[in-house]
Structures are given as C-alpha cells and as structure tokens.
Structure 1
Amino acid sequence: MSDSAAETALLAQMERLAPPAVRLGCRLIRAGDEALLLPEEAVALPARRLVARRASGAARALARGLLAAEGMTSVAIGRGPAGDPLWPAGFAGSLAHDDEMAVAAVARKADIASLGIDVEPAEPLPDEIAALAVMPGDVLEGVHPRLAARLLFSAKEAVYKAAYPLDGEILGYEHIGVDLARGEAVTARGRRMRLSFCLLPRIVVLAVAEDQPASR
C-alpha cells in the first residue's frame, strides 16, 4: 500500500470517531520530517533522538494543518515541562505517534474542554506491558481478545493526555479505569471521558473529557 493510500485508509476510519467539533488527521512518518519542526518547536526538543524529532515534526506539522483549518496559521506548538504539547489560547489538542504513523486532534475549547488521542499498531500487546496496564476493574469485553489489551493500553494513554491539561496530575495505569464495552473511562480524581476508537488499519483512540469530574 502506498503512503497516501495508507493515510487515506486510516483517516477514513478516524473520521468515524470524532464529534463534529473535533478535527482529526494522520500522517505516515517519513525521512526528513524533523525539518517540519518550526524553529520555536525545534528549540523545545534539542536533545531528543532523531527518530523522536522526526515523529514530532510529522505530528506537529499535522496539527498545524488542523489549526490552520480553524483560522490559526503559523502557530508553533511548543512543549511543556511534562512533555505535553502547548496549544494556542482557546484550543485543545493532542498528538501521538507510533513507529510509523503520527496522528493529531484539535478542537476549540468552547466546544471541547480537553481531548487526548493515541495510536498503536494493530498487534497484540506484549504480556509484560499488559500486566502493567490492565487493572482488575477494567472491562475488555466487546473487543477481539487479540487486540483488547493493546486497545485498553492505548485508551489509557489517550485519557491521560486529556486529563493532564485539566487536572495537572501524573497518572499511572492504575489511576485510570476503562470500560471498552461502554466506551467510557474515569480517572482516580473522578474525571470522566468518552472513548471512541478504531482497530484497523491501526488502533486509534480518542478520549474526550466530560464537562465536570464525577463525585468521588
């Protein structure tokens, strides 16, 4: 499959995930994508390995394109102290990549308080990682067992990205409960998330924060 066909196939599945207010995009990571970083972005990533800078260039270029569609042009997406991307005022967003594909999500905060996205290959999760990510209260029903643990791992990554801008807390896998059957997640603080996902051609999970944390 060509690069453009691979991107088109994934984007077609991703577009089924998002509420109307959310813009989503994907891009295969290519040699030279590190040059897509704006100068302000490159300064924030000086010590990262080339492969990481390349993935960041692909993801940030993708996100800048989504922001441009909202009228925000030539906006640098910096990096906060915790490694979180810094978005222009009035916008929520999220970036992710695996070894081959970068994805991004953007929305206006007037519509979506916060969101998170994650991408993973459509392959079983290694047992040693599954043992860390899957908690006794997690619900994996409704998803093919071959991919359920990988999907849950990806969902927790997306939830963390959506929760951190709102609550400023570092969350472990044990701090996030996921119900794949209901498409829901909740953090230890009580922050509830709506989940939507696709499994093929890659696993992509979008987490969208509810308006208020739930009562403890």
Structure 2
Amino acid sequence: MTDLDTALRDLAPLGVLIGWRRIAEGDEGALNRGEISATNLSVRRASGAVRIVARELLRAPDLAIPKGEGGEPIWPRMVVGSLAHDDEIAIAATANAEDYEAIGIDIERAEPLVAETFALVVTDRERAMIGDDAMKATLLFAVKEAVYKAAYPLDRVFLEFADIEVDLDQGVAATKPGRSLTVRYATTLSHVVALAYA
C-alpha cells in the first residue's frame, strides 16, 4: 500500500469510492469512441487513464464516459463522479446519486504555489487565514478545483477562483451563486488531493 492509497482511504467519506493509477503508455487506447476529441497524445493518455480508474470503481469495463459541453464527465444515471489527473497520476471518485448530489476531485503536485498563481487563487479572507504559506495555497488551489467540478454540473455556472471561498479549518466552501459544499483533503510527500461534495 502506498502513501496515496492510505491518503485516499482516509479521504473518502462513507459511500464514496476513490481510485487511482499511474498514467502509462497505452492508456490512450482505453478511450471509447466519442469520449474525448483531443489530438494531443498526453491529454488522450491521461483521459484514458482516468476512465480506466472510473470503470474499475463502477465495475463497468465497457462504460463510455463522454465530456459534456462544459468539459464535465457525463455519468450514467444514478451515478455522480469526478475525474482528475496531473502529468503522472490519474484519479477518479464516484458515488450513488441517491447519496450525493455531486462530487469533485482534484490532484496536484505537493509543491508551493508560484506567486503569480497565488494572487489569482487566494482571496483576501483566505490570505488572512493562511498568510504567505505557498503550500496551503496549493491546497486551496486543489480544493477550489474540486469545488468547481462538484458545483458546475449542479449550477452550470463558470467560477473563477475568487468566486469560491474556502474555510480549510471548517471543511466547507461557498460559491458565489450561493452553493455550500463540504471539502476534505489529503496530502502525501508527492501530492495533494482534494474532494468536494454536496
């Protein structure tokens, strides 16, 4: 069991399944027709990898998971879920739609957020809580990405980072349109993983 396995096991609330895999040569071959239109090999490979993980979680090896108009994955009826990847790791989260309205997940390298991005991601209120801690800013980045992925299918509103306020201590996030979501996160030596759900 890796650090990431342990982190994800502790991250998942009751009823949420989270899985991951290292992106590998050939994962692009897992894409079904119509799932993604990108021609870039690394994008196709990562997109195939996250779908391999999602299909394993759902025990549906032939399931197609196409993208919606906003780039969100289209799940089967009675399933909510989310997909994410960096350049190395593909990760997916799924749950029963009777238990959860929406789920968002994100994974980022556990590296300090660069100053230019820090200013875009962190609101004044959040800055008062985290100060100049660039690692906590990376965590906020991941949490806000997860929140967006959970909120967009519900509200169909494009959110900037400033449209999401996160309270890491309370484990909640609020969006500009007025939606509140629960947030959880886990860190390993190499990665930060964030989960948001309603």
Deviations 1:142-179 (A, max 9, x none): 79934100000111100000001111111111110011
Aligned to 1:38: 32
Measured after TM superposition, the shift of residue 36 of structure 1 is 1.4
1:208 is matched by which residue type in structure 2?
Answer: Y
User: Structure 1 203/192 Cα, relative in aligned 2: closer, same or farther at 3 Å?
Assistant: same
- For structure 2, the residue ranges without an aligned partner over 5 or more in a row are none
Question: 8 Å contact 1:58–1:102 — kept in the other structure?
Answer: yes
In structure 1, C-alpha distance between the alignment counterparts of 2:128 and 2:97, rounded to whole Å? 31
TM-score normalised by the chain length of structure 2 = 0.93
Aligned to 2:93: 105
Q: After the TM superposition, which residues 98-177 of structure 1 pair with which residues of structure 2 at under 5 Å, given as runs? A: 98-138=86-126, 141=129, 145-177=133-165
User: Structure 1 144/109 Cα, relative in aligned 2: closer, same or farther at 3 Å?
Assistant: farther
Please, which of 77, 82, 99 is the counterpart of residue 94 of structure 1? 82
Question: 8 Å contact 1:59–1:104 — kept in the other structure?
Answer: yes
1:22 matches 2:23:
no
Measured after TM superposition, the shift of residue 26 of structure 1 is 0.9
Percent identical among aligned pairs is 45
Measured after TM superposition, the shift of residue 199 of structure 1 is 1.4
In structure 2, C-alpha distance between the alignment counterparts of 1:118 and 1:9, rounded to whole Å? 17
User: Structure 1 38/143 Cα, relative in aligned 2: closer, same or farther at 3 Å?
Assistant: farther
Aligned to 2:42: 51
In structure 2, C-alpha distance between the alignment counterparts of 1:15 and 1:76, rounded to whole Å? 26
CA RMSD of aligned residues (A): 1.8
Deviations 1:122-157 (A, max 9, x none): 100111111111111226747993410000011110
In structure 1, C-alpha distance between the alignment counterparts of 2:129 and 2:20, rounded to whole Å? 28
Question: 8 Å contact 2:121–2:161 — kept in the other structure?
Answer: yes
Measured after TM superposition, the shift of residue 9 of structure 1 is 2.4
SS at match of 1:58: helix
1:85 matches 2:73:
yes
Question: 8 Å contact 1:196–1:207 — kept in the other structure?
Answer: yes
1:64 is matched by which residue type in structure 2?
Answer: R
- For structure 1, the residue ranges without an aligned partner over 5 or more in a row are 210-216
1:204 is matched by which residue type in structure 2?
Answer: V
